[in-house]
Structure 1
Amino acid sequence: MRILTYPHDLALGGSQLNAIELSAALRDRGHEVVVYGRPGALVDTVRSLGLEFLTAPDPGRRPSPRVARDLAGLVRERRIDVLHGYEWPPGLECNLAGRLSGALSMTTVMSMSVAPFLPRSMPVVVGTEQIADAERRAGRHRVRVLEPPVDVVANQPDDALGRDFRVRQGIGDDFTVVCVSRLAHQLKLEGILTAIDAVGRLAAAAPVRLVVVGDGPARAEVERRADLVNVRTGRPVVVLPGAIDDPRPAYAAADVVLGMGGSALRAAAFGKPLVVQGEGGFFRLLTPESLPDFLWTGWYGYGGADRPPVDLLADLLAGLAVDESRRRDLGRFSRAVVEQRFALTEAAARQEAIYDAALRERRRGADRAWTTLAADGAAAGRFADYHLRRCLARLRGRRAADDFNAQPLARRVDGSGERRPEPGRDGAALLYFAGAPWSAVTGTDKHLAGELARTRDVIWIDPPMSWRARRRRGLQVPLVTEPIPGLVRVSTSCVPGVSRPVLRRLTRLHADLDARRVVRDRGVAIAGVVVSDPEQRFPRWVDAPRVYFETDDFVAGAELLGRSAGYARACRRRNVADCDVVVAVTQDLVDVLAAGRRPGLVLPNGTDAEHYGDVARIVAAPEVLLAGPIAGVVGQLNERLDLGSLDAVAATGASLLLVGPRYEECPETRARLDALIARPNVQWIDRQPFERLPEFMAALAVGLTPYAVTDFNRASFPLKTLEYLAAGRPAVSTDLPAARALETDLVELVTTPQEFASRTLALLSAPPDEALVARRQAFARQHSWAERARRLEQIVALAGSGPGTDREGDR
């Protein structure tokens, strides 16, 4: 046979390597094989294997008529029998070229689900039995399975290669976990960050390393998390060598490999214990018991654990670290699995048989003109729908996402092929209309939802944002994403003018419809609805307990938030009337909201005590240039602050650090902030990711909560006070009801700027007191977000038990 292999690109990647290695193996079986595509890093691999490389024209939009015509010309010129595209763009171009030239065209899909617009008359090869089963159920009968092949000669145990890699990376004899992966947000990032945290936890008690080989768009997030762990442990526990053209030395150096897909199988070929990484907290060891599941679903999984992913992976790795005998046994089993089932020579024979069968079907008339024309027409319609949706997403300010790679089949169906209720570990989810986007500064809603998602799946609805604002702020995200395991984010994009009287109702209706569509498409029940966005109405299509939750006094702060007080009051009145129970962060705000009309409960803000628990061992952020000791504010800078108190602290000459974004609206506030920051003993550092805040807490000797005494602030519960205590830092706060409600002597309450400055100076000059540090951190742990999330779960349950029961249940 004369075969043209067309990988989807020639950058480093598992699908492309499979295509090239199979081509060489087929050539060795006596076939004429050429590789076609745009030049990339793997062209050298193609030529090193003795294969001819043909350069494709620049495709432009995919599928490309220009490429299809070029392929058809090559068929006629070289008498090609089979055009074999890998993934859907080359598959569609090969299909069109086959129609023009008469050659057999087929597609291999090594992604984790198949594009619905690949013509069903076209032979398709997939990598797992689960995907093949789903495609047959969907009406695609010409589908076959060829699991990702591995060259077991080029990839085999090599101690010398591994030792050399360890020396070059400075790893020594440490227990080493290796992950070879593209650093991508979809599919990959969640597991990599979990692995960094898990190894960081183990490193406190044992010599362990994590080596992450690869590069990609999520590199910055991976580096930040790795730096945090390395600083905490005081040594390079996480090693990031970047992309390596030949990652075999990294596999050879590993004691355990973490991976999915083709990377997992290559690791197994090196005789290493394999932990298969998926999403939703999925980590599972390859054993004789787990092998049948992986042969069905592929080397990936979704969810299924009833423990936090970091705990699960840390315990799994800890067990392997101390049991060398088990590692040897698992490594031998991994190698045997690859040799017996995934060897490249066997895969080439199966690929040859697939070609022969497809050619025989064609000769028997399986490709009748009218059937192929109908199949092509139906596929064209599905592709037009797909393309239109992507165009609309771009116009509305959403980033286009390839949902065939981003939405694996194993995430959507269970082991029997039935639709998996996702999200919903127990078949029900909490619908949470948030007061701020998921991408905003981490606040009450985000902390609570993140904790809830550990045990209860959450559908998070962003406040709607216009496509123009999204473009201006660089927030082009798809309608549906999964930023953390267990949480689905719905991001509604709409026309400009979302705050105008006529349009604001329509935009909230749009958010309601988007939420309804996601709930319907994912087939989940709703356990309860929380509305924290004061402008959003409760959905009428949900029959579930309704909780109205105010994290601030939105009426008192309407002007600060750029809203009409009258409009804010009307929204509040409507939501209070529609809910089963009202909840707020302070008793003052509960009293305003409930006013005898509805049951009312207090749910104070909490803190992530574990996040700040190691501040004493963390090196302060290098951006901090002030001389110590330093007093500081970590949070948003706006009209809520009592700038008189901050001026008084700065006037003493003490070092004052301000960390957080500036959101002031008033020109007078802007001028005063500018003047404060201009002082030589004051430094301002703009918004920082939540993961880095411990570094800035480490720079502080005293934490400040200088809030002006206003109706808005009297009803608020500042997050920063508890965060200072969680870091073991003393706290000075304006005397506000929320601070008094903590009922602790660990927070200094003051009433005047002069008192604020004098108490701050006294604390800055006080000697370190380890007992006080321990008391502060112990107090903060009593106010964890996990406890607040459990309380919110209880409130939702109480809200469904009938009016009037909430107060009784709270006593």
Structure 2
Amino acid sequence: MDFIITSLQPWDIEIGSTIKNTAMEISKKNRVLYINTPSSFTHWLRTSKKKTEVRVNDNLHIVYCNLPALPVNSMPFRWLFNIANYCNNYIIARTIKKAIRNHQVKEYVHLIDTDIYRSRYLKQLLHPALSIYYRRDYIIGVDYWRKYGPACEQALVRQADIVMTNSSYFTEELKPLNPNIYTTNTGVNLSLYDGNILHDIPADLKDIPSPRIGYTGAIIERRLDADLLYAVAQQLPQYNFVFVGPEDDFFAQHPLHTLKNTYFTGHREVAELPAYIQHFDVCLNPQKVNPITEGNYPLKIDEYLAIGKPVVATSTHTMREVFAEYTHLATDVDSYLYAIQKALGETEDAELKNARIAFAQTHSWAHSVEKIYKAIDIYKTTSKK
């Protein structure tokens, strides 16, 4: 079948993306139209040259919806929000229908990737053969989405033919709304994150002596515990802490930057990240524990493990359920200090390294997407009865 994907994330996002990797994997066997949903008015006005479509490979096409979206979240009343949001959905549906005609698409699966506003009415407007809602992040825990988001997501879950999540925590939460629900977990790009490939040390790491305790990914307040990191780095002055990724304003102004043993590289391309990970001694995921992170599946853990690195991470539901055997879990400053030092003692352990790599290889994107195919097969079989 053909797949049409609508997502919160634009294709040109600078950091690694679960939905982009999922789309790439699906396109190995099926045609995929990935819809770049409307930008804001400000972004639209700044973009002089509007794209219409980009071909990624023989089966994957990025289709751009070039009309700007109405700022629905600022609407003061729910009825006004619903009208404006329906208008945005109608604009997107017109773009999709045009792409369907251009590509002669007949029967397709519509995969909605946590796009709770702009895909809210697309099932009614498009009538796909099968509609899948995929929750891979708890976005309704973010302030922006709290006013209208929960009702939109509940409606999408109820009306979907299939619901997918990337953690059992999300599955249990949404199951009362739709029993036809499955957990996919997430995959890792094993060709990129290959523990057997030797990388040259990145130039900005050369002057930072080991032991290097590293993190890769977005450095943002709502997900990472800055105060914990400050306390840990302050109490381990003999270790160097390296953060690779874009920072939000909170982190950019945090006292972490004043410590002599902390280093921030800024944004790096996804293809560069394995070299950084390989030259870290221990990898971190110092998450805050909150509704956004508790059930989230941290893709970076698979990436760290695929390179074979010792990992220290905050103990969340997914970390305990999926990764506990292969990582060191911590809950506070003291347990982080202990875990980091214990992990450093494992850096030369070849047996543990190979076990981490072997475990990560069970989390390929092919394995993740195969669960989506299986859910579709089950739905087709049961719907015929």
Q: 2:23 matched to 1:442?
A: no
Structure 1-normalised TM-score? 0.43
Task: Report what 1:550 is aligned to.
Answer: 135
How far off its partner does 1:463 sit? 3.1
Task: Report what 1:276 is aligned to.
Answer: none
Q: 2:186 matched to 1:605?
A: yes
Deviation digits for residues 580-627 of structure 1 (CA, Å, limit 9, x no counterpart):
121111112112222154322111112112211146511121122422
Equivalences for residues 493-504 of structure 1 within 5 A: 493-495=66-68, 497-499=70-72, 500-501=74-75, 502=81, 503-504=84-85
Alpha-carbon distance in structure 2 between the residues aligned to 1:470 and 1:627: 45
SS of the residue 2:203 aligns to: coil
Amino acid of the residue matched to residue 246 of structure 2? P
Task: Report what 2:97 is aligned to.
Answer: 516
Assess if the C-alpha contact under 8 Å between 1:558 and 1:568 holds in 2.
no
Task: Report what 1:633 is aligned to.
Answer: 215
Task: Report what 2:78 is aligned to.
Answer: none
Alpha-carbon distance in structure 2 between the residues aligned to 1:601 and 1:681: 44
Equivalences for residues 630-669 of structure 1 within 5 A: 630-638=212-220, 639-651=222-234, 652-653=236-237, 654-663=239-248, 669=250
Amino acid of the residue matched to residue 682 of structure 1? T
Equivalences for residues 275-674 of structure 1 within 5 A: 428-440=1-13, 441-470=15-44, 478-495=51-68, 497-499=70-72, 500-501=74-75, 502=81, 503-532=84-113, 533-535=115-117, 536-537=119-120, 538-540=122-124, 541-555=126-140, 557-559=141-143, 562-563=144-145, 565-614=146-195, 617-624=198-205, 625-638=207-220, 639-651=222-234, 652-653=236-237, 654-663=239-248, 669-670=250-251, 674=254
SS of the residue 1:607 aligns to: coil
Amino acid of the residue matched to residue 212 of structure 2? I
Amino acid of the residue matched to residue 629 of structure 1? P
Kindly report the root-mean-square deviation, in angstroms, between the aligned alpha carbons of the 2 structures.
2.3
Alpha-carbon distance in structure 2 between the residues aligned to 1:786 and 1:641: 29
Change (3 A) 1:475 1:487: farther
Change (3 A) 1:627 1:550: same
Task: Report what 1:218 is aligned to.
Answer: none
Alpha-carbon distance in structure 2 between the residues aligned to 1:622 and 1:471: 38
Amino acid of the residue matched to residue 66 of structure 2? S
Q: Percent identity?
A: 21
Alpha-carbon distance in structure 1 between the residues aligned to 2:107 and 2:89: 19
SS of the residue 1:685 aligns to: strand
Task: Report what 1:740 is aligned to.
Answer: 320
Structure 2-normalised TM-score? 0.88
Assess if the C-alpha contact under 8 Å between 1:609 and 1:784 holds in 2.
yes
Alpha-carbon distance in structure 1 between the residues aligned to 2:24 and 2:298: 19
Alpha-carbon distance in structure 2 between the residues aligned to 1:469 and 1:643: 31
SS of the residue 1:611 aligns to: coil
Assess if the C-alpha contact under 8 Å between 2:70 and 2:88 holds in 1.
no
Alpha-carbon distance in structure 2 between the residues aligned to 1:484 and 1:475: 26
Equivalences for residues 639-788 of structure 1 within 5 A: 639-651=222-234, 652-653=236-237, 654-663=239-248, 669-670=250-251, 674-742=254-322, 744-788=324-368
Change (3 A) 1:767 1:794: closer
Alpha-carbon distance in structure 2 between the residues aligned to 1:788 and 1:602: 9
Assess if the C-alpha contact under 8 Å between 2:65 and 2:92 holds in 1.
yes
Assess if the C-alpha contact under 8 Å between 1:609 and 1:727 holds in 2.
no
Change (3 A) 1:455 1:550: same
How far off its partner does 1:743 sit? 5.1
Alpha-carbon distance in structure 2 between the residues aligned to 1:642 and 1:475: 39
Alpha-carbon distance in structure 2 between the residues aligned to 1:433 and 1:475: 24
How far off its partner does 1:504 sit? 3.9
Change (3 A) 1:803 1:642: farther
Alpha-carbon distance in structure 1 between the residues aligned to 2:383 and 2:175: 13
Assess if the C-alpha contact under 8 Å between 1:467 and 1:493 holds in 2.
no
Amino acid of the residue matched to residue 352 of structure 2? L
Amino acid of the residue matched to residue 29 of structure 2? T
- Largest Rg, 1 or 2: 1
How far off its partner does 1:507 sit? 2.3
How far off its partner does 1:758 sit? 2.3
Alpha-carbon distance in structure 2 between the residues aligned to 1:641 and 1:739: 15
Alpha-carbon distance in structure 1 between the residues aligned to 2:305 and 2:243: 18
Alpha-carbon distance in structure 1 between the residues aligned to 2:281 and 2:347: 10
Equivalences for residues 94-113 of structure 1 within 5 A: none
Alpha-carbon distance in structure 1 between the residues aligned to 2:310 and 2:87: 47
- Give the aligned length: 368
How far off its partner does 1:771 sit? 1.7
Change (3 A) 1:477 1:611: farther
Q: 2:377 matched to 1:797?
A: yes
Moved over 4 A (4+): 474-477, 802-805
Alpha-carbon distance in structure 2 between the residues aligned to 1:663 and 1:804: 50
Change (3 A) 1:549 1:510: same
Task: Report what 1:326 is aligned to.
Answer: none
Instruction: Tell me whether 484-493 or 717-726 shows the greater mean CA deviation.
Output: 484-493
> What stretches of structure 2 of length at least 5 have no aligned partner?
76-80
Equivalences for residues 30-429 of structure 1 within 5 A: 428-429=1-2
Assess if the C-alpha contact under 8 Å between 1:549 and 1:584 holds in 2.
yes
By relative contact order (CA 8 Å, sep 6+), the higher-ranking structure is 2
Alpha-carbon distance in structure 2 between the residues aligned to 1:720 and 1:458: 25
Assess if the C-alpha contact under 8 Å between 2:158 and 2:177 holds in 1.
no
Alpha-carbon distance in structure 2 between the residues aligned to 1:776 and 1:487: 32
